[in-house]
C-alpha cells in the first residue's frame, strides 16, 4: 500500500471527513483491521482564509507549496489537497512535488462522465463558483458547468463559512441549499457537483432530486485506488 499524503485543515471539519472516508475505503477494500497508510498536515485555516479574502493567491500558493513539500518529505507517495477552493493554487504545488498531486477536478469529471452526464451544476465557495479554476478543469473534460445566480452564490458561501466550517449543520440551510439545487435543475443541470468538501456534511443523495457528485468521496476513492494499485 502506498502512502497517501493529505494537505488539510481547510477546514478541519472536512479534513476529518477525508480521514474517516479514507480509512473506511481501505477497510472495505481489504477487510479485517486494515486502515489507510497516510500522513496528514493540517494548516491554520484562518491564515489561508485571510489570503483568500485579500485575493493574495500567490502567497497562499507559496505557503501551501511549502506544506506540500513537507507532506512529501514525510513519506507521501501521492498528495491530496483536501479542499476545492485552494485548487486555485494547485499548479504551485505540482511545481514543487516529485510525487503526483491528485486533482479533485479530474476525479470529479471522470465520475460525472462515467454516469453519462454532460451538464452539471456547481456548488462551492464564492471563490470556487466565480473563479475559473474548477469550472475550466471540468470543462476541459467535456462538461458544461452551470453556476447559481448571485444571491444563491452568496447564500451557499455563507452557509459554508459561517456554519459548516464551524461544524454547524442546520436543517433550514439544508432546505435553502436544496432550493438552489432546484433552480440549477431548472437551468438544465443533470447533476450537481458538491464543489466544497464541507457541503457533504449538509447534503446527501436523499436530500435533492438530482444526482450528487461529492468531491471529497470521489477524491478519496481515487486516492485509495491509486494507493492499492
**Active-site residue set:** 83, 196
Of 59, 62, 61, 15, the C-alpha closest to 39 is 15
Of 43, 34, 50, the C-alpha closest to 15 is 43
End-to-end CA distance of the chain: 8
Of 78, 23, 15, 5, the C-alpha closest to 229 is 78
Q: β-strand 144-146 against 78-81: which pairing, if any? A: unpaired
C-alpha cell at 173: 440551510
Contacts of 143 (CB under 8 A, 6+ apart): 109, 112, 113, 117, 118, 119, 120
Half-sphere exposure of 188 (CA within 13 A, CB side): 6
User: Helix and strand tally (H, E) in the chain?
Assistant: 10, 7
Helix 45-54 and helix 57-73, axial crossing angle in degrees, nearest 10: 150
Amino acid at each position: 500500500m502506498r502512502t497517501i499524503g493529505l494537505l488539510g485543515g481547510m477546514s478541519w471539519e472536512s479534513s476529518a471527513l477525508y480521514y474517516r472516508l479514507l480509512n473506511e475505503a481501505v477497510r472495505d477494500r481489504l477487510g479485517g483491521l486494515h486502515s489507510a497508510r497516510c500522513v496528514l498536515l493540517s494548516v491554520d485555516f484562518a491564515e489561508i482564509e485571510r489570503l483568500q479574502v485579500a485575493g493574495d493567491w500567490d502567497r497562499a500558493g507559496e505557503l501551501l507549496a511549502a506544506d506540500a513539500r513537507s507532506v512529501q518529505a514525510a513519506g507521501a507517495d501521492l498528495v491530496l489537497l483536501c479542499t476545492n477552493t485552494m485548487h486555485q493554487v494547485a499548479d504551485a504545488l505540482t511545481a514543487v512535488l516529485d510525487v503526483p498531486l491528485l486533482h479533485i477536478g479530474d476525479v470529479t469529471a471522470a465520475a460525472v462522465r462515467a454516469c453519462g452526464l454532460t451538464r452539471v451544476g456547481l456548488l462551492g465557495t464564492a471563490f470556487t463558483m466565480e473563479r475559473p479554476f474548477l469550472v475550466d478543469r471540468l470543462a476541459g473534460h467535456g462538461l458544461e458547468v452551470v453556476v447559481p445566480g448571485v444571491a444563491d452564490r452568496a447564500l451557499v458561501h455563507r452557509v459554508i463559512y459561517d456554519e459548516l466550517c464551524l461544524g454547524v449543520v442546520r436543517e433550514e440551510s439544508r432546505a435553502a441549499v436544496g432550493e438552489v439545487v432546484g433552480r440549477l435543475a431548472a437551468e438544465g443541470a443533470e447533476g450537481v457537483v458538491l464543489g466544497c468538501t464541507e457541503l457533504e456534511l449538509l447534503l446527501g443523495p436523499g436530500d435533492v432530486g438530482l444526482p450528487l457528485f461529492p468531491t471529497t468521496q470521489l477524491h478519496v476513492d481515487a486516492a485509495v485506488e491509486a494507493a492499492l494499485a
